[in-house]
Amino acid sequence: QVQLVESGGGLVQAGGSLRLSCAASGRTFSSYAMGWFRQAPGKEREFVAAINSSGGSKYYTDSAKGRFTIFRDNGKETVYLQMNNRKPEDTAVYYCATYLGSVYLGRPVYWGQGTQVTVSS
């Protein structure tokens, strides 16, 4: 059974930094692409960033480019999202997800339970 457990959420002031972690289990972590998504109150869930299985290829939504960094440690079976220069509009529940294959194509197949991130102005 695949499990994704996010951690690291909390309250941060605008301009601050926060690192989210997602620990995975139940499948060979190093074989699958991973992604981060978020859902703000009253809005649909949206894509934030993704990374392929080896960590050599990454993709970001425009709002995340230059501020967020996705990276992974396959030995620890964990994917991270480093978020710098946070803005109030980054307030959302952040979800970790894993894809069907080694690249971030299509929709993710497994999701974590989410972690709340709140950015105060």
The chain-wide mean pLDDT, for the chain, equals 96
Q: Which pLDDT score, from 0 to 100, does residue 6 have?
A: 97
Query: How sure is the predictor about 109, in pLDDT bands with cuts at 50, 70 and 90?
Result: very high
Tokens of 113: 């339970």
pLDDT tens profile 57-87: 999 999 999 999 999 999 999 999 999 999 9
pLDDT in tens, 36-54: 999 999 999 999 999 999 9
How many Å apart are CA 97 and CA 34, to the nearest integer?
6
% residues pLDDT > 90 (the chain): 98
Percentage of the chain exceeding pLDDT 70: 100
SS3 29: helix
Q: What is the model's pLDDT at position 7?
A: 97
Q: Which CB contacts under 8 angstroms, 24+ apart, belong to 21-26?
A: 21/78, 21/79, 21/80, 22/78, 22/79, 22/80, 22/81, 22/96, 22/112, 23/76, 23/77, 23/78, 24/77, 24/78, 24/79, 24/96, 24/98, 25/77, 26/1, 26/2
Give the pLDDT score at 118: 96
pLDDT at 59: 97
User: Three-class SS of residue 30?
Assistant: helix
pLDDT at 57: 97
